[in-house]
Structure formats: structure tokens, C-alpha cells
Amino acid sequence: MALQFSVSGRIAKPVHDVFEAIADPAQLSHYFTTNGARGRMESGATVTWDFHDFPGAFPVQIVEVVPDERIVLQWAAAVGDGEPYDTTVTFELTALDDGRTLVTITEEGWRDDESGRRASYGNCEGWTGMLCALRMWIEHGIVLRDGFYR
């Protein structure tokens, strides 16, 4: 069985604004990467994300970017001492009739073992937190994660 999850939420901003809040490292650094993001998400780029709760900059390979629609990236699965491999994360942005944006984040590609299950559960929690933090940042200018992990 393939391990995969999707989380989604509605953001009360137009698609372009939400896309920029995800793709722009300056904005991402405010509400998600608590220790900073470097590099704009563009097809073929490698950017880095750094978190207080998982110190050390993570390389993130940007596979595909369709502005205002989709971002696909790959990064290392948290497998502990196991053989390293990557998972794939897809952000899909859908304009809703009421002016809001539906953001769906899907991550897949873990190995179906104890380490893969544990890592997938942790990332599901992390992407849910990211969506909540994105909403507070873009709708209200609140940095929800400030002090949460330090």
C-alpha cells in the first residue's frame, strides 16, 4: 500500500496572493520556515528550508511550478538511520467562486514500514500546521508559529 495523505484548507485571499505567499521565500520565512527559506520556488530550482524544530537547512528540489495553480517539490523523507529516499509534495491552488482559494497539499512516496508511517504522520501534522499558519499570515498578518517551537 502506498503511503500518501492530503490536507486542505480555504484561504480568504485570491489565488495569486496565496501562490506568492508559498513561492516567495521572504513570505514563507515569516510564517512557516521558522529559521528561514532561501530561494524562490521555480521549476528546476533547489531551495533550502530551515526550521527551529528540525535544525539544519533542508534542500528542497522544485520539480514543477505552474504559477497560481501548482507547485511540486521533492525532499528527503525523515527515515532516521534507514536508507535515504525522497517524497513528493504537491501544492494545488483552486480559485473558489467566493474569492477564496482552496489549498490542497498532498505528500506521497514513503516506504510502507514503521519509519515511513511515523514520518508520514509527522509531515501530515506539519503540513496541517503550515496551512493554519499560512491562513493567519496572509489574512491577518499574524505569525502563528512564533515561539511555538522555540
pLDDT per position as a tens digit, 123-150:
999 999 999 999 999 999 998 877 776 6
68 falls within a domain: yes
150 falls within a domain: no
pLDDT per position as a tens digit, 99-113:
999 999 999 999 988
Query: Which cell goes with 101?
Result: 482559494
What is the C-alpha separation between 99 and 7, in angstroms, rounded? Answer: 20
* pLDDT band with cut points at 50, 70 and 90 for residue 34: confident
Say what the pLDDT of residue 145 is.
79
**What's the CA dihedral at 105, 140, 32, 11 to 10 degrees?**
10
Amino acid identity of residue 72, one-letter, is V
Buried b (16+ CB within 10 A) or exposed e, 6-15: ebebebebbb
* pLDDT band with cut points at 50, 70 and 90 for residue 37: very high
Calculate what percentage of the chain has a pLDDT beyond 90: 71
User: What domain range is 86 assigned to?
Assistant: 10-140
40 falls within a domain: yes
* pLDDT band with cut points at 50, 70 and 90 for residue 84: confident
Does the predicted TM-score (pTM) go above 0.85?
yes
- Max Cα distance, the chain (Å): 47
Whichever domain contains 23, its CATH number is 3.30.530.20
Calculate what percentage of the chain has a pLDDT beyond 70: 97
- The tally of domains found in the chain comes to 1
Task: State the Cα angle at 8 between 118 and 47, rounded to 5°.
Answer: 70
Statement: residue 1 has pLDDT above 70 = no
94 falls within a domain: yes
Statement: residue 114 has pLDDT above 90 = no
Say what the pLDDT of residue 70 is.
98
Beta bridge partners of 74: 61, 88
2 falls within a domain: no
What is the C-alpha separation between 50 and 67, in angstroms, rounded? Answer: 24
